[in-house]
Chains A and B, each alone.
Chain A
Amino acid sequence: MAVFLSLLSPSDPTPFSENRTLTLSLDYNLIAKHHVPLIQKCEVLRDSLPAGVTDHMPIHLHLALPTSPTPPLKPSSQSSPPRTL
């Protein structure tokens, strides 16, 4: 069964790009009870796979994670010298 874990920013309803979508083979999604308010949606996608392929179904879990501004990287913050050949 495929599970699509999409993570949403509260200030940006657009899902993260494809490389933040995880596809796993699973049948249960668990989360701590005190983190339930983060759940935007948890949807079992019943018709997304051809019948007979698997007895499991994809689950789409959307979480709204608390975020804070990320400071831009400074060029001078590079910790190692440029790689040379």
Chain B
Amino acid sequence: MYGKETRRSWAWYRVLANFTSGGHLVTHLSLFNDTIHLTGVYMFPDENQLQEFFDTLIAHSNHSPREPHIYAEDFNAYTAEELENHVTPQELRTLLRRSGDVNSAHSPAPPLTSATVLASDYRGRLLLNMINSLEFIITNGRFPVPPLTL
């Protein structure tokens, strides 16, 4: 990973605690008496073991429910504005609908798809599958910031 794209990779060293061949890292921060888990991920556009990659990420999500776990990722994956399937209409009142990439060419692959589709689409589908199985949400694009007033 580092040899192929050092410009992107240098930042990982700042928080690196545990790095695996799957291309992800896990670090743990102790804040006061609590613990949060931060998993930073970079997936190469030509990564060819996609399902195994996501399986590894899911396997590393087995933390106490009281300890926040944040995935901060660069997946090169298209998810457009697809809603997480575990979010209920009642929860949407507070979670809001995510504002994502509205380019129609940047949609995830259909739910029942195979690895023969475009890689970014397929990675997006696998990412959404992971999010749905863990009951996670995508935070960016979801919490609008009020405009500054002068």
Report yes or no: B65 in contact with A34, Cβ–Cβ below 8 A: yes
Residues of A within 8 A of B145 (CB): 41, 43
| Residue of B whose beta carbon sits closest to that of A43 | B145
Contact of B33 among A23, A24, A68 (CB under 8 A): A68
A25 CA to B140 CA, complexed, in Å: 14
Contact of A32 among B41, B69, B127 (CB under 8 A): B69
Interface positions of B from 52 to 106, Cβ below 8 Å from A: 65, 68-77, 79, 84, 86-87, 91, 94-95
Over the window 1-20 of chain A, the binary record of Cβ atoms lying under 8 Å from chain B Cβ atoms (1 yes, 0 no) is 11101010100000000001
Report yes or no: A67 in contact with B31, Cβ–Cβ below 8 A: yes
B3 CB to closest chain A CB, in angstroms? 16
Over the window 116-129 of chain B, the binary record of Cβ atoms lying under 8 Å from chain A Cβ atoms (1 yes, 0 no) is 00000000000100
Report yes or no: B8 in contact with A25, Cβ–Cβ below 8 A: yes
Report yes or no: B70 in contact with A61, Cβ–Cβ below 8 A: yes
Q: With A56-B74, A67-B31 given, is the CB distance from A24 to B139 under 8 Å?
A: no
B95 CB to closest chain A CB, in angstroms? 6
A61 CA to B140 CA, complexed, in Å: 8
| Residue of B whose beta carbon sits closest to that of A45 | B145
Contact of B135 among A33, A42, A59 (CB under 8 A): A33
Q: 27 A–B contact pairs at CB < 8 A?
A: A5-B38, A22-B15, A24-B15, A25-B42, A26-B40, A26-B41, A26-B42, A29-B71, A29-B73, A30-B70, A30-B136, A30-B139, A32-B65, A32-B134, A33-B136, A35-B69, A42-B139, A42-B140, A43-B145, A44-B140, A59-B140, A61-B70, A63-B68, A65-B68, A67-B31, A68-B32, A68-B33
The 6 lowest CB-CB distance pairs between A and B, nearest first, are A30-B71, A67-B32, A42-B139, A29-B139, A42-B143, A26-B72
Please give the residue numbers on chain B whose beta carbons come within 8 Å of chain A beta carbons, in ascending order. Answer: 8, 11-12, 14-15, 29, 31-34, 36, 38, 40-42, 65, 68-77, 79, 84, 86-87, 91, 94-95, 127, 131, 134-143, 145
